[in-house]
Every structure is written in C-alpha cells, then in structure tokens.
Amino acid sequence: MTKAVKGTHDLFDKSLLYHQTIIGRARDWLEAAGGREIATPIFELTEVFERGVGTTTDIVQKEMFTFTDRGGRSLTLRPEGTAGVVRAYLEHGMKVWPQPVKLWYAGPMFRAERPQKGRQRQFHQVGYEVLGSDSPLADAEAVALSYLILRDLGLRKITLRLGSVGDLEDRRRYNAYLREVLKPRAQELSADSQRRLEANPLRILDSKSETDQRILRELAVRPMLDFLGPEAAAHLEQVKSLLSEMNIPYTIDPSIVRGLDYYVRTSWEIHHKLLGAQSALGGGGRYDGLSELLGGPPTPGVGWALGIERVALAMEAEGLSPAPARPLDIYVAALDPDLLPLALQAAIRLWPELRVEYSLSSKRPAKAIREAEKRGARYVAFIGENEARSNTLTLKDISSGEQVTLPIEEVKSWFESGGRA
C-alpha cells in the first residue's frame, strides 16, 4: 500500500478540527486588529528565500525543497511565510496604502528536516506581519497578539521569552566578539559551526550539537543582549514596558537568536512546558532590512508565526478539545425504494443551511434511527407514501423521540426558530 511521504501528514477528523480551531481563533483576533488575509504562492523563486531568510541560516543551507522548472529557474517550496508576504507587499505597491499594513496568512510550509515528534517536512503556520512601522507599539502589538491567541485557545502552560538581536551594527560587534572568543576552540566545534564561525558566528548559539553547547558554556560566552547599542536597548525597554502595562507576562531571554539572518531588535518565542524538546509554539521578530534585501524601499516590519501542529499538540497535552464539527441536523430515509429520489431532493432543498445526509437505500424506521444515531444526527426524517403525496417530511427528534410532520419548505425556518417537535 502506498503511504504518505515521511514527514508529511493527512489532516482529517480530529487533527483537522484542531487546525480549523487554531486558524479560526487566530483569524478572529487578527482581523479584529485590522489584519487582512493574504495567500501567497506555495513556491517562490529560490532567491526570495536566499535573500529573505539568509544564506547562512540552516533553513537555506540545509532545509529547503528546491527544484528547477522547465525554464531552468530555481524554485523553492516556501519554508516560512514572511519573505513571500514582504515580496507581495512590494510587488503590489502596498506601500501607498495607509501604513502600517497588517497581513495575516495560514498555510503549509516545507522544510527538509529530520522528522520527529513536533517536527515535520510539511507543517502549517499561521502568521502575522505588520509592515511600515518601526514603532515599539507595533512590536508590542505583535507580541501580545501571538500570546493572546494562544491564551484564548485555552493554553495556560505557555511562556513568552523576549529578547533583542540588536541593530545590524550591534550584531557586527557581537559577531566579532564571538569570533574572538571561539577561535581558540574552533577545532573542537562541529563542522557546521566551524563554517558559521566565518560566515555568521551568531548562528553557533543556535547549534543543536551538544559539544558546541558545552564549549559555549565553558567559555561563558556573553549574550547578545550585552551588546545592544543605545537605540536597540531603548527600543527593547519600550516594548517591555508596553507588555507589562498590558499584563502580558514575559521573561527576558538574553540569548535568543532567531532563525532568520535579518531580524533586528525585538525577537521572541513562545514555548510550552509540556512539549519536551520541540517546545516552541511560535516566534517572531522585527526585520527592518528585509524589504531592501528583496529590492524594495526601506520598510520596517515585525511579525510572527505559530506552528499549528505544535499548538495542537500543546492543546492535547493540556486536555483541550478542538471546536466540534458542525453536527448533522437531519438524516433522511425513504421507507420504500421508489421514494429514494425524494430523499435526495429533500436534502438538496435543505442544503446548505442545514446539514443533511440521506440514505442511499430504503430503510425501515428502526434501522433508519440506528443509522441516524451512528452519525450523531439530531433528527431522522422519514419519507413514506404520505410524506411523498403531501410534500412533507416527518422529523423525529432522536433524543426525545418526539415527532412532527412539516411541509419541506418550512423545515429550514422551523430549524432556525429552534426546531422543537
């Protein structure tokens, strides 16, 4: 039997309900905040991610699904949403809209990572980008929304880790410091980190290698936060006080480094206490230089993404159920084979306001009730000779057993007004 590719999953039933619940709650908050939904293509020119994520990141170096199209162009399945959204903002001249422009999206992302619990090759994110403002208010709003959506889903065991990666100049100084302290131990670092030592030493802090992490501890490497210039430091202080005023609890994480090369200033992650190794539910940051890297005018931006599968795992871990599927209102059964077309016709007249299924073979009433119960229907509707002649349906309330006969055209309004037999 053919199976789904390793690291990919079918979403259906409960897993899909979790997805819909998470996206639905995010949509409520993000639209309320003035966000407009955007759906960008699932693949882009590879250069969008090389520039927009950064060539020294793990994502670009190791994790992209890249292919060449028939015209010889290099294309990549999107590993994240921000670069495509900023590309679209620039391409469609959203710079002339009232600023900031707030865009949100939900959809699949693709990374060639080693699959494990909470880490897939195709996964889904919901994300929010605020483009055109460098105000710390925009950062605080973005952080708050990412946190409040998770709280509103019922999650309690979440922690918000806030930090700053400084301005580009601060990072240059920090990278120079890292090169200097790490150089004497360079031979002991993992091959990846030896390469990073030249290209982007900051990435070494992110290394998954135990040895790298031990060396960092032994050298008591100072955190990025020690290297903030006065402007980035003031910005962080403003974001902190805005969050405190909103009663959003956070801890300062002095060593936070996010996956993108071009993050500046504010960066944050939200973790879940019950999820083990892959505990990050999401994260975000400010990326003021990104627009220019994609060939646009200077446009500050801040945004985040939540991993939908991770949030679903966290909800399960806290015993939170997804919003239930729309229940079946009526299960229609014809009592005689000749009347089967009427069951379909009745269903068509009741769709889409009511959720209706009908039996494809005639049923005796007792059997029809059992079938309706199996499907969780509220009512079973019989069509016999009488109903056929008078264009009515006889509806039986599955839980109370009460019965009512109604003209078909009155069934919808009867339901709207509460539908008591």
**Positions that interact with ligand AMP (CB under 6 A):** 80, 111, 113, 118-120, 123, 125, 259, 280-283, 305, 307, 309-310
Residue number with CB closer to ligand AMP (86 or 354): 86
> Least distance from C-beta 303 to ligand AMP, angstroms?
10
Residue number with CB closer to ligand AMP (146 or 392): 146
Q: Which two tokens stand for residue 113?
A: 């990572």
Question: Which of 29, 90, 84, 83 is closest to 54 using CA atoms?
Answer: 83
Residue number with CB closer to ligand AMP (127 or 132): 127
> Least distance from C-beta 157 to ligand AMP, angstroms?
15
Complete edge-to-edge strand list for the sheet that includes strand 330-334:
356-358, 330-334, 379-383, 392-397, 403-407
For 238, the enclosing helix (H) or strand (E) is helix 230-245
Residue number with CB closer to ligand AMP (9 or 349): 9
Q: What letters, b where the CB count within 10 A reaches 16 and e where it falls short, cover 21-57?
A: bbbebbbebbeebebeebebeebbebebbbbbbbebb
Residue number with CB closer to ligand AMP (294 or 369): 294
> Least distance from C-beta 73 to ligand AMP, angstroms?
25
Residues 6+ apart with CB under 8 A from 361: 337, 340
> Least distance from C-beta 283 to ligand AMP, angstroms?
4
C-alpha to C-alpha distance for 365 and 388, rounded to whole angstroms: 16
The residue of the chain with the least Cβ separation from ligand AMP equals 307
Question: Where in 83-218 does DSSP place strands (E)?
Answer: 101-110, 122-131, 158-164
C-alpha to C-alpha distance for 143 and 61, rounded to whole angstroms: 28
Residue number with CB closer to ligand AMP (123 or 331): 123
> Least distance from C-beta 161 to ligand AMP, angstroms?
11
> Least distance from C-beta 80 to ligand AMP, angstroms?
5
Residue number with CB closer to ligand AMP (8 or 209): 8
Site of tokens 């991770």: 310
Q: How far apart are the first and last CA of the chain?
A: 49
> Least distance from C-beta 282 to ligand AMP, angstroms?
5
**Strand, coil or helix: what is 279?**
coil
Q: Which two tokens stand for residue 118?
A: 């909470």
Residue number with CB closer to ligand AMP (80 or 387): 80
> Least distance from C-beta 52 to ligand AMP, angstroms?
12
**Strand, coil or helix: what is 324?**
coil
C-alpha to C-alpha distance for 85 and 91, rounded to whole angstroms: 10
